Every structure is written in C-alpha cells, then in structure tokens.
C-alpha cells in the first residue's frame, strides 16, 4: 500500500468539480484517508512549491494556488502515486490522455485542476506538509 497527496486546485473547486474528481478516485480504488478544505496563503504555497522556486512560472503558480480554496486529500492504494498520476493526466492538458481529469477539465497548463505527488519522497514531504498523524486514518 502506498499513499499520495492530492489537491483539487482553486480552478477545480471554483468550477464545481470536486465531486467529479472524487468519483474518479473512488472508482479507481484510491481510498481517501485524510481530507480538508483550506485557502493557502503565499507562504504556504511558496513552501509547498519550493522545488519550483527558480522556474519562470513560480510567482504565477503560487498566486493561482492562493486565489481560492483547495481540497487537500491523502489517497491510499496499490501503486497510489503512479495510479493517481495516470488518472490526472499530463501536466499540459493538451498532451494528456483521453479520459484523464486534466484532459477532460483543465483549461490551461497552470490551471490544470489537480495536483498529485510524483515520487514516494515527495509524497512523504507533501503529506506531512498538510496533515498531522491524528488527521490520517490508519
Ligand atoms: P505536475 O507534477 O504535473 O503538477 O507538474 P510540475 O510539477 O511540473 O508543475 C507544477 C505545476 O506548475 C503544474 O501542475 C502547473 O499548475 C504549473 N506549471 C507547470 N508548467 C507550467 C508552465 O510552463 N507555465 C505555467 N504558468 N505553469 C506551469
């Protein structure tokens, strides 16, 4: 069993597709073991995306991520990290496979509806960034 961090980004929440995203997790046997809605401030978003701080889109990305509430979840399942990234689709929705969340709903390379951890190390950092051990269902 593996765990991964999922975020429904501000565009997904604003457009009313929280339920659609969660439905796709559930039908793919990704179990939600923690969940909350919050609005990030700049410091929280910059810390979360610290690996991207030298990228040209860093300020735009952190502005976007603080522009409205997000839904943050921890998902558990077999190969959860890879499986969830397959369900999300490629970062650029124009390159995402048919039937993926980003192909179906993203409007922009930045406003791409969902986030998912990309490795076990990243997942461990990202899960502990948002959740303490009392908030994780065992
Ligand atoms: P992910 O792991 O698929 O989310 O992709 P990355 O880790 O490479 O990028 C993190 C996030 O930054 C993406 O999900 C997008 O929201 C945003 N992003 C990535 N590339 C670009 C870009 O070229 N321009 C802008 N404006 N945003 C980007």
pLDDT tens-digit series, residues 92-105: 999 999 999 999 99
Which residue owns the Cα nearest ligand 1 atom 17? 110
88 CA: nearest ligand 1 atom: 3
Question: pLDDT tens across 50-59, in order?
Answer: 999 999 999 9
- 13, 21, 115, 130: which one is catalytic? 115
* Ligand 1 pocket: which of 10, 57, 86, 87 to mutate (most atoms within 8 A of CB): 57
Beta strands in the chain (DSSP E): 2-8, 31-38, 70-77, 114-116
CA torsion, ordered 91, 112, 29, 3, to nearest 10 deg: 70
Q: What pTM was computed for the model?
A: 0.98
């Amino acid at each position: 069993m593996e765990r991964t961090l999922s975020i429904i980004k501000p565009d997904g929440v604003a457009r009313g597709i929280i339920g659609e995203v969660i439905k796709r997790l559930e039908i793919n046997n990704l179990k939600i073991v923690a969940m909350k809605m919050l609005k990030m401030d700049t410091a929280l978003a910059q810390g979360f995306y610290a690996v991207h701080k030298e990228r040209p889109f860093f300020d735009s990305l952190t502005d976007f991520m603080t522009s409205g509430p997000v839904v943050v979840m921890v998902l558990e399942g077999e190969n959860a990290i890879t499986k969830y990234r397959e369900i999300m689709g490629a970062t650029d929705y124009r390159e995402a496979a048919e039937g993926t969340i980003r192909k179906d709903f993203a409007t922009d390379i930045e406003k791409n509806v969902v986030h998912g951890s990309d490795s076990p190390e990243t997942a461990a950092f990202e899960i502990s960034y948002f959740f303490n051990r009392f908030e994780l269902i065992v």
